Amino acid sequence: MKRYISYSAILALVLTSALVFFNQCSMGDTTRVTIQLKPNQQALKHNENQWLSKIFYIFYKKAYAFTVWDSVRNEVLVVIEGSDMTTIEVSIPPLQTSYTIEVPSGSQRIFSVYGINTDNSQGKNWGGKVITDLPPGADTTINIYMIPLPTEITPSLAAGIRLTWYAPSGIQGYYIYRATNLNGPYIKIATITTPATEQFDDLDPELVMDSTYYYKISCYNANGESAPSDPVIQLYNP
């Protein structure tokens, strides 16, 4: 009986030690990240009166992006990507501005956060992005500034491939990205420095007839670059 108890105690000690060891290994392969969502300061300065902005939206039929971050979302989506990790997607409460998560450590981790307005077909109308390295076992905080996104992006055929969209306020310009595959890689093909612009023509002579092209648009301002829009697709056969 004594021998049985001794063997059981030894077995329990071994299992406990193994569990602690594997937990420590697991924690060592991840980084505890706290994401802090920050308002778009340029947009706030651009239009400090959110009620005027809302009235403007009521009478103006474009998918106008309110310049006050707290007023324009009923869903927030966090997307974390990396070349050697499985993509993480998490929805958090719309008014929550801080979120902590364990992320696989490694280089070039891409954190994208989207504000989504499901009330009026705007969809992803705000986005922020940070690319950073995550050392194993660390505890870090990243600030993501939420920047307005263009809405209702529509591709069509003209002399080349034309993109049209509704311009948000509180930005300085746009980056246009193109790919030949839905999952990328997306290559920056244009920088637009006029924030009121609502059209881009891809006149690249290297476009191949009857080929499908995928486009994303991001906005930029003094806070940095937004997360990209969802891709739009166009078959090139003018």
26-35, 55-64, 81-90: segment of lowest average pLDDT: 55-64
12 domain-assigned: no
Measured distance CA(43)–CA(172) in Å, rounded? 10
Place of tokens 């991840």: 30
Residue 94 in domain: yes
Please tell me which residue, 39 or 68, carries the higher pLDDT value: 39
**Is 80 exceeded by the pLDDT of residue 10?**
no
Residue that has been written with the tokens 């993109």 in this structure: 163
The CATH code of the domain that includes 160 is 2.60.40.10
- Give the mean pLDDT of 76-99: 92
Residues 44 and 67 in one domain: yes
Residue type, 52: L
Share of the chain above pLDDT 90, in %: 61
Does 190 reside within a domain? yes
Distance CA(193)–CA(190), nearest Å, equals 10
> What is the residue whose two structure tokens read 């263009």?
150
16 burial type by CB count under 10 A (0-12 exposed, 13-18 middle, 19+ buried): exposed
Give the count of domains, the chain: 2
Question: What pTM did the predictor assign?
Answer: 0.76
Using CB atoms within 10 Å of the CB of residue 128, give its burial: 0 to 12 exposed, 13 to 18 middle, 19+ buried: buried
Q: How confident is the model at residue 9 (pLDDT cuts 50, 70, 90)?
A: low
Q: Which domain holds residue 39?
A: 30-147
Pairwise CA distance, residues 113 & 141, whole Å: 15
pLDDT tens across 89-127, in order?
999 988 888 999 999 999 999 999 998 887 656 678 899
* Same-domain status, 112 and 199: no
Give the pairing of strands 151-157 and 147-148.
Answer: unpaired
Does 45 score more than 80 pLDDT?
no
Which pLDDT score is estimated for 129?
Answer: 94
DSSP codes, the chain: -HHHHHHHHHHHHHHHHHHHHHHHHHHHTEEEEEEEEE--HHHHHH---HHHHHHHHHH--S-PPPS-GGGS-SEEEEEEE-TTS--EEEEE-TT--EEEEEEE-EEEEEEEEEEEE-SSS-EEEEEEEEEEEE-TT-EEEEEEE-EE--EEEEEEESSSEEEEEEPPSS--EEEEEEESSTT---EEEEEE--TT--EEEE--TTPPTTEEEEEEEEEEETTEEPPPPPPEEEEE--
Task: Please count the CA atoms within 13 angstroms of the CA of 52 that sit on its side-chain side.
Answer: 5
The last residue of one of the domains, among 147, 175, 194, is 147
- Place 54 in a pLDDT band, splitting at 50, 70 and 90: very low
- What would the pLDDT profile of 56-66 be if each residue is shown by its tens digit? 444 443 444 44
Q: Is residue 120 part of a domain?
A: yes
Residue 131 has pLDDT above 70, yes or no: yes
Q: How far apart are CA 60 and CA 168, in angstroms?
A: 13
Q: Looking at residue 112, what is its pLDDT?
A: 95
pLDDT, one tens digit per residue, over 140-151 is 999 999 999 998
In a shared domain, residues 224 and 183? yes
Contact 176, 190 (CB under 8 A): yes
* 86, two tokens: 């499985």
